[in-house]
Amino acid sequence: MDIGLDVDQKETQPDVILRADAWVNQRIERSWHWPVSQYFDTWAKYQDQPNATGIDWVRVWPFVGVHLACLGVIWVGWSSVAIAMAVFLYAIRMFAITGFYHRYFSHRTFKTSRLGQFLFAVVGNASVQRGPLWWAGHHRHHHRHSDEEEDVHSPHRDGFLWSHVLWLTTREHFSTDRKAVKDLIVYPELRFLDRFDMVVPFLLAIGLYGLGMVLEMYVPSLGTTGLQMLIWGFFISTVVLLHATCTINSLSHQFGTRRFDTSDESKNNGWLALLTFGEGWHNNHHYYPGSARQGFYWWEIDVTFYGLWVLEKLGVIWDLNAVPERVYEGSEK
C-alpha cells in the first residue's frame, strides 16, 4: 500500500514518532490534569514503564462497569428491534476484529486503501477491544511466543481464567508495543484511535441511546427506549463479543483437533469458528498465519473470509493472500 512516503522515510519515521510520543508523555505526566487524563489517554501511563506490574484496579473499573451494566436488562426488558441491533453490532464488529484487527493489521494478509484501513479500524475500535496498534502489537507477540513462557495469554501457562480475560487487566499488558507495529504507527489517524480508544465506543453508546429515544418518541409500537437500546445494542453486544473473541486465546489452545504439527498447542474447533466467524480454525492459522483464509478447506466455514472475498470483488480490498499449495501438501486432513 502506498502511504505517501519514500523508502528512506518509511524506515526512519517510526523511530522519530516513538521519540516524539515519549516526550509528549513526559509532559503529560508532569501536568496538573494527568490524574484525570489517564482515564481517557491510554498512553498517559505505563506506555514507557516496562516494569509496571499487577492489576490496575482504578483503570479496570470501566471494564467491570460494562459487565455490570448488562444487568440493566432486568429493568429495561427487551424488544425485537433492540435484540436485532445487538446481533447486528455483534456481527459487524466481529468482522472488523477478525478481518481487519487480526488478518489485516496483525498479519497484513491483504491490501486496502488508507481510507478503508481507517474506516474498519474505527469499527474495530467500537468493539471496545482497545486500539488497532495495541491489538496488533499484542497479537504479533503471541505468534512469536505462542504457548511459551512469554505468551501472555497461554492457558498452559497461567490457566483458563487468566488467558481468557484477566491478562487484560494488568499494568504490564496495558501499553501498546509500538516497536512491534512500526509499519502501522506512521499513520496519525491510527495512533489517535489507539491513544484515545474510548472515543469511538463512547460515541457509539451515545448514538444508540439517542436512536432508542427517537424510536420511543416516533415509533412507540416498537417497544424500545433509549436505555433499552443502550443496554442491548452496546453493553450486552459488546460483552458477548469480547468473550467470544477471547475464546480463541483460552479455548482454541485446549479443545479441538490438530491437522498440522505446530510448535504450540493451537487446535481447530468448528464450534468456535462459527462463533468467531472463522477464527476457530486456529491450528490452520498458526501453521500458516500469512493467509487471509483460516478455513483452509471448503467445509471449514470461515465467514470472515467470505466477507473479505466480497470486499475484494467490490474493490475495497485487494491482493488477498491465498493458502499455498505446499500447505495443502503438508496437511494431514
SS3 319: coil
Q: At 322, which amino acid appears?
A: A
How far apart, in whole angstroms, are the C-alpha atoms of residue 232 and residue 236? 5
Average pLDDT, the chain: 87
pLDDT tens column, 166-209: 898 888 888 888 889 999 999 999 999 999 999 999 999 999 99
pLDDT band at 38 (very low <50, low <70, confident <90, very high): low
Residue 290 CA: distances (Å) to CA of 9, 138, 322: 26, 17, 8
Instruction: State the cell numbers at 11.
Output: 524506515
pTM: 0.88
SS3 329: helix
pLDDT tens column, 83-106: 999 999 999 999 999 999 999 999
pLDDT tens column, 119-171: 999 999 999 999 999 999 999 999 999 998 888 889 988 899 999 998 988 88
**What is the residue whose three cell numbers read 493451537?**
266
How far apart, in whole angstroms, are the C-alpha atoms of residue 73 and residue 79? 11
Exposed e or buried b per residue across 18-49, where buried means at least 16 C-beta atoms within 10 angstroms of its C-beta: eeebeeebeebeeeeeeeeebeebbbbbbbee
* Nearest one of 295, 52, 286, 332 to 147, comparing CA atoms: 286
Mean local confidence (pLDDT), 303-326? 96
